[in-house]
Amino acid sequence: MRRALSEGSFAVVAKKGDRDSGTVILTVRQRDGMTRLYQAATGMDGMRVWHESEAKPARDIDAVIARQSAQDMDLWVVEIEDREGRHFLTEPVVSAVQL
């Protein structure tokens, strides 16, 4: 969030989950109304990796988050609005998560 804010983007924690074991989802809303979803996961090497969805209308991404929130009360959701669609993640990002 700090990186996004320092670069002039908007970032907010939209939903707080469990501090120690909650799953994290990041959404990046673009100027064209499309949104990408990034889900944190642990790779085979034990390091964090982010799975990136294809860009979809915001309402489709919101529906995915609503379904996951209903199943996982510990879920964290961070939202970024960035004109260029930047995610500001420093860990590896793997493309094409199916929603």
* pLDDT tens per residue across span 22-32: 889 999 998 88
pLDDT of residue 99: 56
Q: For residue 81, which phi and psi values (nearest 5 degrees)?
A: -110, 120
pTM metric for this prediction: 0.86
Tens-digit pLDDT profile for residues 58-95: 999 999 999 999 998 899 999 999 988 999 998 989 88
* Closest CA relative to residue 37, chosen from 63, 1, 17: 63
What's the CATH class of domain 2-97? alpha beta
The H helix count followed by the E strand count for the chain is 2, 7
Element (H, E) at 51: strand 48-53
Element containing residue 95 per DSSP (H, E): strand 93-97
